[in-house]
Structure 1
Amino acid sequence: MDEYVKSVKEGLKESVSFFGNKNKQNREVWVLKEFLKYLPVDVQGTDVKESDAEPNDAFYKDIGFQIKEIQTEGRKRDKEYKDKFKSINEETKPKELLEHYSPSHIPLSDVLHRVRDELERHRNEKYKNNTRNINALVYLNLDDTTYTNTPVDTSLIGSELGNWQSVSLVTNNCAVVLSYNDDSNKLLKPLIGKLYVKN
């Protein structure tokens, strides 16, 4: 097997494992670490850990977060990686694995309606509206999309923000704290509305 093809197959194998059900807690910790990478905070290795009780999925120091991923509608990521992994064999040529990547580059505000709708659904279905003490961290994982360094219009989420203790968001190239409803938090409160974009 060609070395490039072999490395792609190994990467897919790792992805199948990472996105499997058994690895859910590790993914949640990873999302929180990705979010914190954007913020002007000094994070040590032991500062982030998994949670052993709802509603928190992961902690930064003593601050718990409920992690909610939003994917492209209809995407079945685990099946996608498994199918790609199975399709690679000894005869696969490197050029067969090359994929064109031309992402849309849009303002984050353009997709905040998705965040609003998913938070509302999550609140109603999982927590029966009892979310005032939950810090929601949304991982917005939409295919072929990156986000511009444009101010975020939180009014597009509207009153939904008031149903959570805080709402933060991380994507593949930016992070933002959208709201915080308690003045006591020294991490999130000063960061509200500031969009941190990876160049």
Structure 2
Amino acid sequence: MTDDEYLEAQRKARAESVEFFRSSKKPERERWVVHEFLANLGVAFEDSEVQSLAQDPPDVKFREANFEIKEILSEGRRRHQEYKVGLQKALEATSPADLVEMYTPRDVAVFDVCASVYVDAKSLAQTKYSPEARKSLDLLFYVNLTDVSGLKETPFPDLAPVEALGWRPVSFLMRHRSCTLTAASDAPLFLRGALKRIVHRKVN
């Protein structure tokens, strides 16, 4: 690949990211989260089975699952603006070196991920979703933290406080990992199968 080809590929990819993270693309992003979550679990499915609903909750329907999708971002992160800035940088670049950025990947502990999940799940329970609604909703968090690539998978914290919030299950997606933290007895079987264990998708 020549320098010009590399720059053009970067411009195209960044423009696609800017488009994907527009507010109008929210249903598409929610379906993508469910796709990734299911793929990590090894669940075979057709794209047509993952459906956005005209009126939510839930955000996404998959078979007997009623997914309500939420996202955990690094504090203060403005992702759409971040991609716009990245696109502008690519448009102005004259060589690949102009796009080189320092990146120091770090790991996060599952204990900390669970703590963030609990804070957000509790806030949602207190401000937006009734106890009756929570009994039928499958809360799924997409954990998308800046500069984080790895997950320290042990030890798991006490999840009783999360369970007490009354969501049917609470799960999370983080890159190629999926996990169900809590699940009621009537939660979909494929969610209960990932209870308190982190399932990895094999990638090349």
TM-score normalized by structure 1? 0.89
Distance 2:8 2:95 in 1: 10
Distance 1:45 1:128 in 2: 30
User: Can you give the 5+ residue segments of structure 1 that lack an aligned partner in the other structure?
Assistant: none
| Structure 2 counterpart of 1:107, one-letter code | A
Distance 1:135 1:188 in 2: 9
1:101-135 Cα deviation digits (max 9, x unpaired): 33112332232211111111122222255522211
Deviates more, 1:87-96 or 1:189-198: 87-96
Q: Who is 2:127 aligned against?
A: 125
Q: Would the aligned equivalents of 1:49 and 1:58 in 2 still touch at CA under 8 Å?
A: yes
Q: Who is 1:168 aligned against?
A: 171
Q: Which of the residues 35, 46, 54 maps onto 2:48? A: 46
Q: Who is 1:188 aligned against?
A: 191
Q: Which of the residues 132, 137, 157 maps onto 1:134? A: 137
Q: Which of the residues 134, 145, 149 maps onto 1:146? A: 149
Count of residue correspondences? 198
Percent identity, please.
28
Q: Who is 1:14 aligned against?
A: 16
Deviates more, 1:10-19 or 1:92-101: 92-101
Distance 2:48 2:91 in 1: 41
| Post-superposition offset of 1:137 | 0.4
Q: Who is 1:31 aligned against?
A: 33
Q: Would the aligned equivalents of 2:169 and 2:187 in 1 still touch at CA under 8 Å?
A: no
User: RMSD of the alignment, in Å?
Assistant: 2.1
| Structure 1 counterpart of 2:86, one-letter code | K
User: Can you give the 5+ residue segments of structure 2 that lack an aligned partner in the other structure?
Assistant: none
Q: Which of the residues 76, 79, 104 maps onto 2:78? A: 76
Change (3 A) 1:21 1:119: same
| Structure 2 counterpart of 1:111, one-letter code | V
Distance 2:191 2:60 in 1: 16
